Structure 1
Amino acid sequence: METVCIPHQATTFFSGLNTDYLAGHEALAPFYAFSPDDAGLDRAITARKQFPVNRQVLVETLRRQYRNHTLYEAVSRNIDALADDNTFTVCTAHQPNLMTGYLYFIYKIIHAAKLARHLEALRPEHRFVPVFYIGSEDADLDELGVFRFNGIRFRWQTEQAGAVGRMSTRDLQPLLDQLTALIGPPGDNAERLKEIIYNAYRQHGTIAEATRYIVNELLGRYGVVVIDPDDAALKQLFVPVLLEELFRPQAHELVQQTSHALEQAYGAQAYSRPINLFYLKDDIRERIEQHGDEWRVLRSDIRWDREALGQEVKAHPERFSPNVILRGLFQETILPDVAFIGGGSEVAYWLQLKPAFDHYRIFFPALVLRQSVLWIDAAATQLQRKTGLSDEELFQPAEKLVRAFVHKHTHKDLQLEDNKQQLNHIFDQIKMKAINIDITLRASAEAALTKMRHQLDTMEKKMMRAEKRNMAGQLSQIYKLKNRLFPNDSLQERYDTFMPYFLEQGNTFFDTLMDATLPYGNQFLLIRTTQPEPALV
């Protein structure tokens, strides 16, 4: 394997806000607390000590949530270590997508483990635990119930509703049978993958429990601890914020001010609401709104007066689910985080939230853009060599690459720019002669020139298409390469699941990622297979 790093901005897949954040632009400095580097994390570790969490509740909850799982020794040690005030966490979060959903699900968690290791080397007097926070309360089944494998798009057909993490795995069996029938070729990796899928979704009652099992089986040896925040004991720690959000809301106004400042340069990110909470019970997860002296749950007949709502929060905090604006505050209330690792959109919306953290006196962690990776297998490596494309050129649109290739390798003149300039000069003369005869002929002359320019543009395109046909064999290699590395014109990590890579490499896939991942993810990684493999035909 060969690892290459390139700047994020060279890929064209990252927003200006993300690249400016990585570059440390001063305009963004007011929106975060600690820079994503060794110096920033050193300050974050020192500052975090002033924001204690309830470690007893945290450890007891984790032990209870893991009671039906066989723990790796590294996970067990890390859970025990969280009882110590000298232990901190590096957190990443994602919804419980079926089969983990996308590759970046794995990348996030590996990155948390890598940064935790890095920080232990930086500050050996402390322990750092990588934590995966399951977004189990998300109700977007259209997103979480879909994944791809072997060129097939799988969708979970279920009548269940509400929080996906709470959903039963019972009616997943037809989909699982279809999936496991396709897993191959036969071998240890295929059998291991089938075993993980079977145990996850047939021996665990909910999607959240199944997701914890998968993460533990795949990544537990790195000490990754999985926490499900949909828990009454954890929500109890958040009751003061829940009550204020319902009766004296501040987050909406604070986030709106920050959002307005960011929008001037970067556009809108996450939207806040007057009340940033859902009501979560049985098969519903719906927003709470205040109407006069009454609070209502949308699309239901649930409503309270002030006293009844306060009693409901105190008796059943697990029924109140933070939205994107408050989720981070809840996370930092229950975990002793020093860093949060998120994708581009997550970093963007977290930059809106610092005033809300300050208002509630909750620690705002260092924000780290998760590691992005492009796997270039041996066949793609051969194609890249044949086409002569550089690593940065791989990220350009296929048509742009094709045009550049044709212009570089053709022996013919495919451009009519000189002719267009000559035509402009001739028509300017004709137009002046026409105007001198009758000023009303100006429009006719200009229309004729526009028509001729269009005809020349059309001819130029036809010449390019003809030369493309002449080079069809060579150009097909560019299209094959792009389709292989960027399925559906998207980043590989936003399309594939981990499963094909695990079938090919087994646990080596995760070890390679762990070795290659940068502690702060500040470069885009290309991991290239260099051993020979038959060329694509």
Structure 2
Amino acid sequence: MADCLPFRSTGFFSDLISDYIEEKQNLKPFYNRFPSVDNFKDQLEEKSKSYTKDYRKGLVEVLNSQYAGLSTSEATQSHINSLSENSAFTVTTGHQLNLFTGPLYFLYKIVSTINLAKQLKERYPDSSFVPVYWMASEDHDFEEINFFNFKHKKFQWEKKAEGAVGHLSTSGLEELAKTIEKEFGKSENAEYLKGLFKVAYLEHETLASATQFLANELFGAYGLVILDADDARLKAMFSRHMKNDLLYHTAFRQTEKQAHKLADLGYNIQVNPREINLFYMHDGIRERIVKQDDDYYVLETELRFSEQEILDLVGEHPERFSPNVVMRPLYQEVILPNLAYIGGGGELAYWLELKSFFEAENITFPMLMLRNSVLLYSDKTAGKLKKLDTPVQDLFLTPEALEAKQTRKNSSIEIDFESQKKHLEKQFEDLFDLANKTDHSFYGAVAAQEKKQKNGLDHLEKRLLKAQKLKLKSENERVLKLQRMLFPNQSLQERTFNFSEIYVDYGEKLIPELLEELDPFQFEFLCLELRIYNTKS
């Protein structure tokens, strides 16, 4: 019921990530350990030496307070309690607070993390492994998170937003809830989804609390621990590193060097560090901190601090300082007994710039795991593909390449002039023998004539292919229609669909099926046929 193909052959992953997964030698200096199950032994030994009992106590205190208003499963509470023990570690994924979880890969990130914790427990039974979802509640890119897609329609939250998205009030989502009520249908699964949206966003005051509730409802039964790191107690644990950034610009110096090294290897750079990688976050604003001469300024405000004033402020109000994309990974690894980070290709690309920064701050660099990627399709679609004699892997081709392949396969005429080209080359061998016995100009004339005739064959082959495409247009269109359905806008399904589009047909079996099928150590793209897929909504 499942097929796999290498990430590189999908055409949707960068050379950097494909090379990393394939353990290319040139990338080994940019990470600590490759994520094999055996390598976790050394990783947990290294992390256990640097993560203190006081940090464990503070983390558990914060988690218990954040879960005070939630219905907490036994599995999750057990995981939280276990973090008090020196033998407990986390494996972590992070994601923005997208409306109604946003793109489908939100599920894959968390399923990968839960399954990793489970496999590590089987391999290292004397330790505990806690799957953590780090909510990106301090992000301020509202336009990236204020919508989700459902059956070719965009459901968008219209709101003027400033500052950290986690602080945003959920007021105003009543109208969107009414739209969802009309659009989702009347099935049992649709009613569940509509109720889930209403409780999450109409009964919780902030986007952070709504997202926490939603993730807990979907994954709490499997022991997922959800962390909102926008907390003064956690940031107090990180204050030394924030001061280092303000004073010494360690992240800038180290990350810039690594970025240049990656660029020299021919890779694209994902993020460029700033001299100061902190925002000032207070009273509804989240703006960059910059240093000019001897003073520190908050952009777009009139706030100004001397060096001593801003260092004092870090000590007194650490919650007013928010890490950017370069500092956030360090913050995560300081406050968690973490072994691995599970993320998408873009995330791992910027993590690969950070190893020397971690070394300078004397913090263990986590193992980097590419999350599972999945193409979901129904048994009905599988039946259509079988009837068309098209393997699902062919749908990853460009539409042009897919159409050409289908045409060549289904044409009653052979559309391959390779044998004619070989015959032509054989004919020219005698001419080249003759040319070698005469002057150079004759040899050149023979070569030019051979190239001209080969080009003529290529042209005829293309003309024949074009003619057969027209003849087989109706049959080809059936395959192209399936491709458009599963790859909307020629993009991966997981980057466009919302989980609700699958759940409305498949229901409560969806997450257990993903947990059953996804293997975090299988570094290949999974094509998964859902076995019990009801296409009636």
TM-score, normalised with respect to structure 1: 0.89
The DSSP-based 3-state class of the residue aligned with 1:324 is coil
Q: CA deviation at 1:483?
A: 1.1
Matched with 1:437 is: none
- The answer to whether structure 1 residue 20 and structure 2 residue 15 are counterparts is no
Give % identity: 36
Q: Check whether the contact 1:370–1:521 (CA below 8 A) recurs between aligned residues.
A: no
The DSSP-based 3-state class of the residue aligned with 1:499 is helix
Q: CA deviation at 1:474?
A: 0.7
1:23-102 paired onto structure 2 within 5 Å: 23-53=22-52, 54-102=55-103
Q: CA deviation at 1:521?
A: 4.1
1:112-123 paired onto structure 2 within 5 Å: 112-123=113-124
> CA separation in 1, counterparts of 2:521 and 2:201?
34
Q: CA deviation at 1:391?
A: 3.6
Matched with 1:160 is: 161
Matched with 2:4 is: 5
* More displaced stretch, 127-136 vs 243-252: 243-252
Going from structure 1 to structure 2, the CA distance change for 1:382 and 1:533 (only over 3 Å counts) comes to farther
Q: CA deviation at 1:383?
A: 2.3
Matched with 1:434 is: none
- The answer to whether structure 1 residue 173 and structure 2 residue 174 are counterparts is yes
1:134-533 paired onto structure 2 within 5 Å: 134-187=135-188, 189-265=189-265, 266-412=267-413, 464-529=465-530
Matching residue's letter, 1:263: A
The DSSP-based 3-state class of the residue aligned with 1:285 is strand
* More displaced stretch, 20-29 vs 212-221: 20-29
Matching residue's letter, 1:214: L
> CA separation in 2, counterparts of 1:17 and 1:141?
28
Q: Check whether the contact 1:136–1:164 (CA below 8 A) recurs between aligned residues.
A: yes
Q: Check whether the contact 1:116–1:130 (CA below 8 A) recurs between aligned residues.
A: yes
Matching residue's letter, 2:482: L
> CA separation in 2, counterparts of 1:109 and 1:158?
28
Matching residue's letter, 1:193: L
Going from structure 1 to structure 2, the CA distance change for 1:149 and 1:310 (only over 3 Å counts) comes to same
> CA separation in 2, counterparts of 1:341 and 1:456?
50
Q: Check whether the contact 1:160–1:283 (CA below 8 A) recurs between aligned residues.
A: no
The DSSP-based 3-state class of the residue aligned with 1:509 is helix
Q: 1:10-32 CA deviation, whole Å, 9 max, x = no partner?
A: 21211111121112122111111
Q: Check whether the contact 1:146–1:154 (CA below 8 A) recurs between aligned residues.
A: yes
Matching residue's letter, 1:519: P
Q: CA deviation at 1:205?
A: 0.8
* More displaced stretch, 222-231 vs 267-276: 267-276
Q: CA deviation at 1:415?
A: 7.5
Q: Check whether the contact 2:506–2:534 (CA below 8 A) recurs between aligned residues.
A: no
> CA separation in 2, counterparts of 1:532 and 1:295?
58
Matching residue's letter, 2:292: H
Q: Check whether the contact 2:505–2:533 (CA below 8 A) recurs between aligned residues.
A: no
The DSSP-based 3-state class of the residue aligned with 1:148 is strand
Q: CA deviation at 1:459?
A: 8.1
> CA separation in 2, counterparts of 1:410 and 1:22?
38
Q: CA deviation at 1:150?
A: 2.3
Q: 1:430-457 CA deviation, whole Å, 9 max, x = no partner?
A: xxxxxxxxxxxxxxxx9xx99x999998
> CA separation in 1, counterparts of 2:39 and 2:389?
40
Q: Check whether the contact 2:196–2:214 (CA below 8 A) recurs between aligned residues.
A: yes
Matching residue's letter, 2:524: Q
Matching residue's letter, 2:5: I
> CA separation in 1, counterparts of 2:489 and 2:16?
25
Q: 1:179-221 CA deviation, whole Å, 9 max, x = no partner?
A: 232122421x222222211111011111111001000000101
Matching residue's letter, 1:70: S
> CA separation in 1, counterparts of 2:535 and 2:38?
47
Q: 1:106-143 CA deviation, whole Å, 9 max, x = no partner?
A: 11011110000001111111111100000111111111
> CA separation in 2, counterparts of 1:454 and 1:122?
59
The DSSP-based 3-state class of the residue aligned with 1:394 is helix
The DSSP-based 3-state class of the residue aligned with 1:38 is coil
Q: Which consecutive unaligned segments of at least 5 residues does structure 2 have? A: 428-447
Matched with 2:435 is: none
Going from structure 1 to structure 2, the CA distance change for 1:531 and 1:360 (only over 3 Å counts) comes to closer
Matching residue's letter, 2:17: N
The DSSP-based 3-state class of the residue aligned with 2:521 is coil
> CA separation in 2, counterparts of 1:460 and 1:298?
61
TM-score, normalised with respect to structure 2: 0.89
The DSSP-based 3-state class of the residue aligned with 1:507 is helix
> CA separation in 1, counterparts of 2:120 and 2:532?
34
Q: CA deviation at 1:248?
A: 1.7
Matched with 1:432 is: none
> CA separation in 1, counterparts of 2:193 and 2:308?
52
- Give the number of equivalent residue pairs: 511
> CA separation in 1, counterparts of 2:357 and 2:136?
20
Q: CA RMSD in A?
A: 2.7
Going from structure 1 to structure 2, the CA distance change for 1:455 and 1:5 (only over 3 Å counts) comes to closer
